[in-house]
Structure 1
Amino acid sequence: MTTALNPTTIAPPFGDYSHGIKTGPVSCLVVTSGQLGLAPDGSCSADVRKQAEQCFANIDAILHEAGCGRADIIRLSAFVTDRAFFADYMAVRDEWLADVAIRPASTLLIVSGFTREEFKVEIEATAITRD
């Protein structure tokens, strides 16, 4: 069982996420490395929205291999290389989580860059399994 933690004694979340997550008995913790917008063939779109979509597709594949899914995510951390990319990232994240009842905790940072100049977004996830 996962519960959102959004105390009324602090400002509400800035977007569609939870300030904190409380979870019940857990069998495994699944932690991804930061996922970049790299397609299986190694290509990377120049479009930040498409990069974010690919990052989340990569996370889906990792979650599937671990035997869990989007509803099992308890935390997302994202990094973008420009403040202007904030809205595109948030839109893709919110679409990706549209069917998830309890939104994970979430952090977004603006960074100076990644290992290759064409990378504009990187996302890492923490999820749980109860098997």
Structure 2
Amino acid sequence: MLTPLAPASIAKPFARYSHGVEVPAGHRLVACSGQLGIAADGTIPDDARAQGDLCFANIAAILAEAGMTLADIVRINAYVTDRAHMKGYMESRDAHVATPPPASTLVIVSGFTLPEFKVEIEVLAAAV
């Protein structure tokens, strides 16, 4: 079982994420490259929530190749192109991650390969 780490000596997380997650010995790890909000047919939704949902769908497909699910995510690194996209991304994240939530970092960046992209998400997952 994964163990969330929340030392009483530091401030609580700003949102729904864990400061740290302990992965017990004997677990396999899968690192997913950053996924963008693009569908298999090449379409890119306009809003950050829909792009985030596509990112997590892509991540779910990658994890399934290793016999894992979104519930096995222990770390998220997410990137948005504007503070205005934080809410949509966070709604998507909260809809797709398990409880307790994984460790998570959110960074605002100047852009991605195409200007239509608003969100990119990479994860680390662990399972027995």
Above 0.5 in TM-score? yes
For the 8 Å contact 1:78–1:121, the answer to whether it is kept is yes
Shift of 1:25: 1.9
> What residue number does 2:90 align with?
90
For the 8 Å contact 1:26–1:128, the answer to whether it is kept is no
Q: Give the SS at the match of 1:92.
A: helix
1:1-131 correspondence to structure 2 within 5 Å: 1-97=1-97, 100-130=98-128
Deviations 1:56-94 (A, max 9, x none): 100111111111112211100000000111111111110
Deviations 1:27-65 (A, max 9, x none): 421000100001011111111111111001001111111
Spell out structure 1 runs of 4+ moving beyond 3 A. none
Q: How many residues align?
A: 128
For the 8 Å contact 1:71–1:102, the answer to whether it is kept is no
Q: Give the SS at the match of 1:32.
A: strand
| Equivalent-residue separation in structure 2 for 1:3 and 1:26 (angstroms) | 14
Shift of 1:117: 0.7
| Equivalent-residue separation in structure 1 for 2:87 and 2:43 (angstroms) | 23
TM-score normalised per structure 2:
0.96
- Please list every run of 5 or more consecutive structure 2 residues that lacks an aligned counterpart in the other structure: none
Shift of 1:26: 3.1
Q: Give the SS at the match of 1:35.
A: strand
| Equivalent-residue separation in structure 2 for 1:47 and 1:125 (angstroms) | 21
For the 8 Å contact 1:44–1:118, the answer to whether it is kept is yes
TM-score normalised per structure 1:
0.94
| Equivalent-residue separation in structure 1 for 2:48 and 2:16 (angstroms) | 20
